[in-house]
Amino acid sequence: MQKPDKDQVWHEVLASVRVAVSSATYNTWLVHTHLASLRKLDEGRYMAEIGCASSFVKNTVEERYFGLVQDSMAKTIGFPCDLTFSVKSAFMPTKTSQPTPLFEKEEEGEILMQKIARVQVRPGFTFENFAVSTTNQMAHAAAEAVAREPGAAYNPLFIWGGVGVGKTHLMHAVGHRLLGRGVEKILAVTGEDFTNDIVEGIRNKTTQAFRGKYRKLQALFVDDIQFIAGKESVQQEFFHTFNAVVGGGGQIIMTSDKPPSEIVKLEERLKSRFEAGLIVDIAPPDFELRCAIVQIKAQQKGLGLEESLVQTIAGNIDSARKVEGFLTRLMSEAKIKNKPVDLDFVNSLLGKKIEEEKRERATPEQLIDAVCSQYAIGRRALLGKGRSRIFARPRQMLMYILRVEYNLPLEEVGRLVGGRDHSTVLHGVDKIAQMASMDEGTRGDISRIKNTIRG
């Protein structure tokens, strides 16, 4: 048998991986990898060494995308394949060669990528990817003003509104803009993260380290600040953190599902601090904005939609998160049923979606029990860390149904399935969607699990 050409193999692997992850994920992590070596171990197995541009890329790809890369490798070469990861450049310039502008640009992108991950700003949540209309125009303008003059314009900036209206997106867009301007002492956390950090600091007697982490920041972004309400010691610590950051000329941005005055059990001194800046709300998206959101989300998924389809979807779905969930389902069902994405197909899915929402739905807990029953495994094994296929495949099935049938956000699915990150969930959903399109057994499993939870 002829030895596989490793450059061609890796080209095919990346092409396969690219359709399973978002463009932001692909361009941030996987584009900085290459196939350093590929050797045959025995008659039925290969060993691949994946070279990564930096230790940062290596750790992220190995932890988050190991299974996805391994499956794609095995499919491409036609044999099981073990993987090792190493820090190894794909370029081997001579001592006399000079870096090209392209190489310099890639290095700059790598450095920026590391900064984005370190400060916990979400890739893809930029001003360029944010659709603006009358319902969010003021919030968008305020966020851009803060990005231009952090610590001076609207400090703190408090953005509130319902689920999926774009609060978090705007907050992280400011982070991207500040990083691009060289402001690096930034940190984006949730109210729960802040709470966990202070609890950990008290437990381990490391509160000084906690204060060093938060109080010297140039910008602090806190998502779902309402989570700290009712927690006396956490509110006290946040009060002092707030004063230290603002007093040092730093910027604070917070998001919540309601304005400060309506957050129950929030201390009055915190309400006073929050109300000292600008409080702006984001209303649910209007039709024009939903059309723009559908177009942006479809482009990010590589799905080309005609204007009539965009308008049909926007006219029937009322939030950005529901739009994303519907588009995921649309792509999945189109693959499974091998049907074109046309007006009839979109309308049939919309009709099914509306009808399903009218029916009483089983809780996620009941779904977890149904998956355990289908595969005869325990809850601990299903939601645990085991990577064995006997546990991983049922776990991916659970992710798929939670995402596609329940239209839950990736982060929520990850939380329910043992605290996985959104990239792991996305891989699991796409894996089951691909299997269901080719394997009758997988389609049967999905059907039996649905029947179980519907009684």
Task: Give the model's pLDDT for residue 287.
Answer: 78
CB 73 within 8 A of CB 81: yes
Cα–Cα–Cα angle for 317, 321, 130, rounded to 5 degrees: 100
3-state secondary structure 148-195: HCCCCCCCCEEEEECCCCCHHHHHHHHHHHHHHCCCCCEEEEEHHHHH
Is 315 labelled as part of a ligand binding site? no
Residue type, 160: W
**What whole-number distance in Å separates Cα of residue 61 and Cα of residue 35?**
13
pLDDT below 70 — which residues of the chain? 1-3, 22-25, 28, 55-56, 89-113, 352-361, 437, 454-455
Contacts of 25 (CB under 8 A, 6+ apart): 123, 423, 426
CB 25 within 8 A of CB 61: no
What DSSP line would sit under 237-289, residue for residue?
Answer: HHHHHHHHHHHTT-EEEEEESS-GGG-TT--HHHHHHHTTSEEEEEPPP-HHH
Is 166 labelled as part of a ligand binding site? yes
**What does residue 83 show for φ and ψ, rounded to 5 degrees?**
-120, 145
Of 186, 187, 189, 153, nearest in space to 278 by CA: 153
Task: Give the model's pLDDT for residue 110.
Answer: 57
| Residues in a beta bridge with 86 | 51
Task: Give the model's pLDDT for residue 283.
Answer: 84
Distances (CA, A) of 427 to 17, 79, 400: 9, 21, 10
Task: Give the model's pLDDT for residue 96.
Answer: 36
Q: Which tokens hold the place of 172?
A: 């992280």
Structural domains in the chain, CATH included, are 6-87 (3.30.300.180), 127-282 (3.40.50.300), 287-358 (1.10.8.60), 364-454 (1.10.1750.10)
Q: Which tokens hold the place of 136?
A: 């969010």
Task: Give the model's pLDDT for residue 75.
Answer: 86
What is the β-pairing status of strands 81-87 and 45-52?
parallel
**What whole-number distance in Å separates Cα of residue 136 and Cα of residue 156?**
18
Task: Give the model's pLDDT for residue 93.
Answer: 38
* pLDDT, tens digit, 9 for 90 and up, residues 4-59: 788 888 988 998 888 777 665 677 678 888 999 988 887 778 899 999 877 667 87
**What whole-number distance in Å separates Cα of residue 324 and Cα of residue 330?**
10
CA 202 from chain centre, in angstroms, equals 30
Is 206 labelled as part of a ligand binding site? no
What DSSP line would sit under 42-68, residue for residue?
Answer: ETTEEEEEEEESSHHHHHHHHHHHHHH
Of 309, 326, 308, nearest in space to 317 by CA: 326
Task: Give the model's pLDDT for residue 109.
Answer: 53
Q: Which tokens hold the place of 419?
A: 């605290």
What ranges in 275-421 are assigned the alpha helix state H? 287-300, 307-316, 320-337, 343-358, 364-375, 379-383, 389-404, 410-416
Task: Give the model's pLDDT for residue 253.
Answer: 96
The 3-state DSSP class for residue 222 equals strand
* pLDDT, tens digit, 9 for 90 and up, residues 232-272: 989 999 999 999 999 999 999 999 988 999 898 999 999 99
Q: How many CB atoms lie within 10 A of CB 347?
A: 14
Task: Give the model's pLDDT for residue 2.
Answer: 57
CB 79 within 8 A of CB 90: no
Contacts of 28 (CB under 8 A, 6+ apart): 113, 116, 123
How many DSSP H helices and E strands does the chain contain?
20, 8
**What whole-number distance in Å separates Cα of residue 146 and Cα of residue 277?**
11
**Helix, strand, coil abundance in the chain, percent, nearest 5:** 60, 10, 30
Is 386 labelled as part of a ligand binding site? no
**What whole-number distance in Å separates Cα of residue 400 and Cα of residue 433?**
8
Of 313, 332, 301, 306, nearest in space to 402 by CA: 332
**What whole-number distance in Å separates Cα of residue 400 and Cα of residue 242?**
40
Q: Which tokens hold the place of 426?
A: 């996305």
Q: Which tokens hold the place of 103?
A: 């190489």
